[in-house]
């Protein structure tokens, strides 16, 4: 019997080890999958899904693995336009490394380089170069230094210090030539030629043309677009407008074929820059100023978050002291009015419970509908797409049109499921943040202050549901109708009274000429929890709204 017992014991040990290895492998595979989504997102929801997964995964990870995940979370936030949140995440990763034993210089190189990129986007080019230099000091990989050195050159170019920029581009080119990295060689030559153009260096055209030839050889599409635009700038500088337009048109053709909106925007901007119309030039300048102001405004709110938190703590403490004093002075009166208050309390309690139950029933029904749409209708649409794609024999043109229409219906079905889906009430501030992230698009920037300016933990669940749905309704209306470029949502706390202010710069509308179904829904919901909803708008003047409610 002894050998049997020993064999069984080994079997259990083997089974445990196999399961542990299998679970670890699954976790690793999932992480790699979401990191690939961050590197190459196909839809806006890919970045959101990947961020949520990595944030949850970090709760049970080792410090070094947490830092690894935080680096990719920061990258995803930057791609979603959440520049400050990306910086905050990167700094969090650095602080975690400071507390972790071991040499993690490779992580620090990556993080400092990332911060350099962020400050470049802030247009703080000196701070950007400082972070790039910190990255270079720790970087032991000579091959990868060419990119960082190139980025420092970009900062000097933005500061109009073209001679310094040229010296860094030449260093980047030298490293790239040593390692025969054609992609980096083309980038260094293109940037070098672009900077030389600014000081009328005769080598500019040769370097720009050589960069284009290499990129064509590599079939590097985005690089080819950049080369075309830089060559367009060269011919514009020598007043050859026809040649400049020719290169701009080549860039536009490639951008259209690749459906790359950013490069298409760059090509079209170049077209308008060739115009001599003063109003067109003024429009370009105004667009740049608005974009810069939007970034600065977002950073302004973020940089004052700590001061705002301290101020709120002081206000809350003062409120608490005042409440204690009020309790002492009114104690005798409370005793005499006890029976009346108790009666009123019971009345309002029953009324409140009725409202809560009604809101919960609506929420459960919405969630049930969302699940049904997701599990049944959306899956059926997906099956139909596969059937059409693989099993129906029609012309390729008709099949393509049919698939496009089915995909459009599928996306709208998925949007309905998302808009009525389950809400994470336990982590409500994260739920609000993710809602705002979903509507933060390249064409529409959603700007906010500290979401936690309101103490969500003190808010009852049924009220959280209402607040979430109201914000969702406003954002959906904005997405469908307003064509806003900037949306501002500010959360404020006035003792027990809470306030959310919504402002967008969209088309606005005439109240007398428009059906207000969506806004009526918002008003009905907020009135149901004893709150209020007010808005002002008119054609061409955007839309402003205020939600007020008690905790």
Residues in the chain, how many?
551
| Distance of alpha carbon 430 from alpha carbon 58, whole angstroms | 15
| Distance of alpha carbon 518 from alpha carbon 473, whole angstroms | 7
Which tokens sit at 459?
A: 């808010």
Radius of gyration over alpha carbons of the chain, in Å? 29
Strands 543-550 and 445-448: unpaired
Residue 284 burial (CB count, 10 A): 14
| Distance of alpha carbon 304 from alpha carbon 326, whole angstroms | 33
327-381, pLDDT tens digit by residue? 777 777 778 777 778 767 776 666 666 666 666 666 566 655 655 554 556 566 6
Burial 141-170 (b: 16+ CB within 10 A, else e): eeebbbbbbbbbbbbbbeeeebebbbbbbe
Total-model pTM: 0.48
Would you list the DSSP string of 1-47? -HHHHHHHHHHHHHHHHHHHHHHHHHHHHHHHHHHHHHHS-SSHHHH
Q: How high is the mean pLDDT in each 10-residue block of the chain (551 residues)?
A: 48 49 59 89 83 88 90 89 86 90 89 92 90 92 88 95 95 93 94 95 95 95 92 92 90 84 79 65 61 52 38 56 73 76 69 64 60 56 65 68 65 54 83 90 91 89 90 88 92 88 91 73 89 91 92 75
Angle at 491 between CA 487 and CA 494, to 5 degrees: 145
Would you list the DSSP string of 137-169? HH---GGGHHHHHHHHHHHHHHTT-HHHHHHHH
Which tokens sit at 511?
A: 């109240």
Question: CA dist 440 to 13, 244, 336, 430, Å?
Answer: 50, 35, 55, 15
| Distance of alpha carbon 307 from alpha carbon 17, whole angstroms | 51
Residue 214 CB contacts under 8 Å (≥ 6 apart), including other chains: 182, 185, 186, 189
pLDDT for the residue numbered 203: 94
């Amino acid at each position: 019997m002894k050998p049997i017992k020993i064999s069984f014991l080994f079997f259990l040990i083997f089974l445990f080890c196999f399961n542990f290895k299998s679970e670890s492998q699954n976790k690793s595979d999932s992480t790699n999958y979401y990191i690939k989504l961050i590197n190459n997102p196909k839809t806006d929801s890919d970045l959101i899904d990947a961020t949520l997964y990595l944030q949850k995964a970090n709760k049970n990870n080792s410090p070094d693995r947490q830092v690894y995940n935080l680096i990719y979370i920061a990258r995803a936030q930057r791609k979603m336009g959440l520049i400050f949140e990306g910086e905050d995440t990167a700094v969090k990763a650095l602080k975690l490394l400071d507390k972790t034993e071991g040499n993690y210089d490779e992580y620090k190189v990556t993080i400092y380089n990332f911060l350099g990129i962020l400050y470049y986007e802030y247009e703080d080019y000196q701070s950007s170069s400082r972070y790039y230099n910190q990255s270079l000091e720790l970087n032991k990989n000579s091959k990868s230094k060419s990119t960082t050195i190139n980025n420092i050159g970009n900062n000097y170019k933005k500061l109009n210090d073209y001679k310094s920029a040229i010296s860094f581009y030449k260093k980047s080119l030298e490293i790239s030539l040593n390692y025969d990295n054609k992609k980096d060689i083309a980038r260094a030559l293109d940037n070098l030629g672009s900077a030389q153009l600014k000081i009328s260096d005769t080598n500019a055209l040769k370097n720009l043309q050589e960069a284009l030839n290499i990129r064509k050889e590599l079939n590097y599409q985005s690089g080819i677009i950049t080369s075309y635009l830089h060559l367009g700038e060269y011919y514009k500088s020598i007043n050859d407008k026809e040649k400049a337009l020719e290169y701009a048109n080549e860039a536009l053709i490639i951008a259209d074929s690749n459906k790359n909106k950013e490069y298409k925007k760059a090509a079209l901007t170049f077209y308008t820059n060739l115009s001599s119309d003063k109003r067109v030039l003024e429009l370009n300048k105004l667009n740049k100023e608005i974009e810069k102001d939007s970034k600065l405004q977002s950073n302004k709110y973020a940089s004052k978050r700590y001061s705002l938190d301290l101020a709120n703590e002081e206000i809350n403490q003062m409120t608490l002291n005042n409440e204690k004093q009020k309790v002492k002075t009114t104690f005798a009166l409370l005793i005499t009015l006890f029976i009346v208050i108790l009666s009123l309390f019971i009345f309002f309690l029953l009324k409140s419970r009725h409202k809560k139950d009604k809101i919960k029933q609506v929420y459960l029904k919405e969630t049930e509908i969302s699940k049904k749409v997701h599990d049944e209708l959306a899956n059926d649409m997906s099956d139909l797409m596969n059937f059409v794609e693989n099993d129906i024999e029609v012309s390729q043109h008709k099949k393509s049109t049919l698939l496009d229409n089915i995909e459009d219906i599928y996306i709208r079905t998925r949007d309905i499921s998302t808009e009525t889906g389950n809400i994470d009430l336990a982590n409500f501030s994260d739920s609000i943040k993710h809602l705002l992230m979903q509507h933060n698009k390249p064409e529409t920037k959603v700007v906010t202050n500290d979401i936690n300016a309101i103490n969500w933990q003190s808010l009852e669940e049924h009220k959280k549901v209402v607040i979430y749905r109201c914000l969702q309704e406003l954002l959906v209306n904005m997405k469908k109708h307003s064509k806003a470029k900037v949306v501002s949502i500010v959360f404020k706390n006035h003792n027990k009274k809470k306030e959310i202010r919504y402002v967008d710069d969209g088309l606005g509308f005439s109240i007398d000429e428009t059906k207000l179904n969506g806004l009526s829904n918002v008003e009905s919901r907020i009135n149901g929890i004893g709150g209020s909803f007010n808005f002002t708008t008119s054609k061409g003047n955007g839309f402003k709204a205020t939600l007020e409610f008690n905790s």
